[in-house]
């Protein structure tokens, strides 16, 4: 079953399949997405600048040319299981960081199995709306990130990975999101 948690640019999609993921206990967290410029700006705009600086200093978030890579760790899901590589933030009961500290993709991505899953073979009424929300979020976030990639490249000092740079990304994210392109995903009421 698909469940949509509408909240504009912070919209989340949930699937009941994820708790029994066919890919294994860590699900798609074996391949964490990068925090791209837009994700970093979103996290800053939600009060996460200090957390980002801490995580960069701790080596859990690694500066790369497109933003920040999430460190991968090799762990067993249980004693009998082989060690597998997965996101540093994946714990025994799933993601250990709140939605406002994750890449937007972590919040809205669902695989095709999740969209198709319904034990009784009937169409899930939320599946169509989920796919539309997923497609819109991918398109808008992708475009915002291309714009921010150009803006970062245009800074003479480049990405300095200090508080001032993160604040600038936060302000850029707020500028992009204020145009209301994701108003169709606004929370009801």
C-beta of residue 102 within 8 angstroms of C-beta of residue 11: no
> Tokens 């999101």 label which residue?
177
CB of 107 to ligand SF4, least distance (A): 8
Quick one: which of 28, 133, 137, 152 contacts ligand SF4 (CB under 6 A)?
28
Quick one: which of 37, 89, 144, 173 contacts ligand SF4 (CB under 6 A)?
89
C-beta of residue 45 within 8 angstroms of C-beta of residue 14: no
Quick one: which of 27, 67, 130, 170 contacts ligand SF4 (CB under 6 A)?
27
Provide the CA 14 distance to its chain's centre, in angstroms.
13
- Name the segment binding ligand SF4 (CB under 6 A); options: 2-10, 58-66, 87-95, 152-160: 87-95
Point out which residues pair with 74 in neighbouring strands: 85
* Token duo for residue 111: 């695989």
123 C-beta neighbours (distance < 10 Å), count: 9
Binding residues vs ligand SF4 (CB under 6 A): 15, 17-18, 21, 23, 27-29, 32, 70, 87, 89-90, 95, 97, 102, 106, 110-111, 113-114
């Amino acid at each position: 079953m698909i469940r949509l948690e509408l909240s504009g640019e912070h919209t989340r999609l949930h699937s009941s399949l994820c708790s029994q993921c066919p890919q294994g206990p860590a699900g798609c967290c074996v391949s964490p997405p990068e925090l791209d410029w837009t994700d970093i700006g979103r996290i800053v705009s939600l009060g996460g600048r200090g957390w980002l600086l801490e995580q960069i200093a701790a080596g859990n978030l690694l500066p790369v040319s497109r933003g920040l890579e999430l460190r991968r760790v090799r762990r067993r899901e249980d004693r009998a299981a082989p060690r597998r590589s997965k996101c540093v933030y994946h714990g025994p009961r799933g993601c250990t960081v709140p939605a406002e500290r994750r890449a937007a993709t972590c919040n809205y991505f669902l695989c095709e199995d999740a969209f198709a899953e319904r034990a009784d073979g009937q169409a899930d009424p939320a599946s169509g709306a989920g796919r539309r929300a997923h497609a819109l979020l991918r398109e808008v976030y992708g475009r915002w990130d291309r714009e921010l990639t150009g803006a970062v490249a245009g800074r003479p000092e480049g990405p300095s990975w200090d508080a001032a740079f993160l604040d600038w990304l936060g302000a850029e994210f707020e500028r992009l999101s204020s145009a209301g392109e994701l108003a169709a995903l606004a929370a009801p009421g």
